[in-house]
Amino acid sequence: MILLLISLLCGVGLGAVLFRTLTDMLQREVFLRTNYRGRPIPTAGGIVIVLSVFCLTAVLSVLAAVNVGLPAGLITSCELTALAVAGFGLLGLLDDLAQDTGSSGYRGHIKSVFAGKLTAGSLKMIAGPAFALVLVLPLRQNSLLWLLIDGAIIALAANLANLFDRAPGRVTKFSCACLALLVVSCGLTALLADSLQLQAFTGLIGLCVAVGAACGMLPMELKERVMLGDTGANPLGAAIGLAVVLTQNAPVRLGVLLVVLFMNLLSERVSFSAVIARVGPLRALDQLGRMPTEP
């Protein structure tokens, strides 16, 4: 648990520092997008999440190379998370910069593919699952079924996080909630096994760094100084899905797959923003720390 907290705090520090150093670059015209208030705001701030995970993974890799004793599974968690955020961050960055219009949702993207027009969104729909399968291949080499299930968890989680990125700070708060649930789940699993060992939590280290980096930017996001964009939302979702794959047993992973699949399909019919606005506790959490809405 202490290691998880340290990883989270390292992510917060890296996120805050890297965002400060990248502020001038993000103010360039290519990154500016108009928000719901009609104000130009830098998008693609989520690149900080990708860089934070890679920086910490690089440090841990050097420590491992000089034979510093590190907990089993820690390097694997960070390396796979780094690959996850890089792959899905690249697709998200393309989406943020391309500014596709006229196609949204699964149906819209599928129509664009059949029309011979590959948009950034439809590219994510195709390449996202491919990235996910490459990620889980080292973990599931002997089972095609679980390769597909675990790959689907990561790809669908990445898209689900993107669906929540409709208001300042929302996807970061969603990611914090998912991290908390996974910590509790790992703790309960370890307690039931009568062995509360560090190895039960090492699969969450990479996710802690990614969520910490998002939290490091959260004050600026809530002040509407930056948007994470798809560049940040997709990697956060992919990191959550990967953490599920790394830490949860088969029945739980299957249950998570059904939940994320249902939520993705539900988004074609239901607006998550409308649901959040109608449910008091969710609305209060969603608006916590945000700037007041102008009349």
Residue 259 lies in a domain: yes
DSSP state of 279: S
Residue 294 lies in a domain: no
Q: Give me the number of domains the chain comprises.
A: 1
pLDDT tens digits for 206-237? 999 999 999 999 999 999 999 999 999 999 99
Residue 255 lies in a domain: yes
Residue 292 lies in a domain: no
Of how many residues is the chain composed? Answer: 295
Residue 31 lies in a domain: yes
Arithmetic mean of pLDDT, 86-100: 90
Q: What is the pLDDT of residue 123?
A: 83
The upper half-sphere exposure of residue 110, i.e. CA atoms within 13 Å in the direction of its Cβ, equals 4
Helix axes 229-247, 250-266, angle to 10 degrees: 150
The residue range of the domain holding 256 is: 2-287
Residue 133 lies in a domain: yes
DSSP characters over 81-126: HHHHHHHHHHHHHHHHHH---S--HHHHHHHHHHTT---HHHHHHH
Residue 295 lies in a domain: no
DSSP state of 32: E
The model's pTM is 0.92
pLDDT tens digits for 236-275? 999 999 999 999 999 999 999 999 999 999 998 999 999 9
Structure tokens of 15? 């996120």
Mean pLDDT of the chain: 89
Residue 293 lies in a domain: no
Contact by Cβ (8 Å): 41, 33: yes
197 pLDDT more than 70: no
CA angle 50, 53, 59 (to 5 degrees): 135
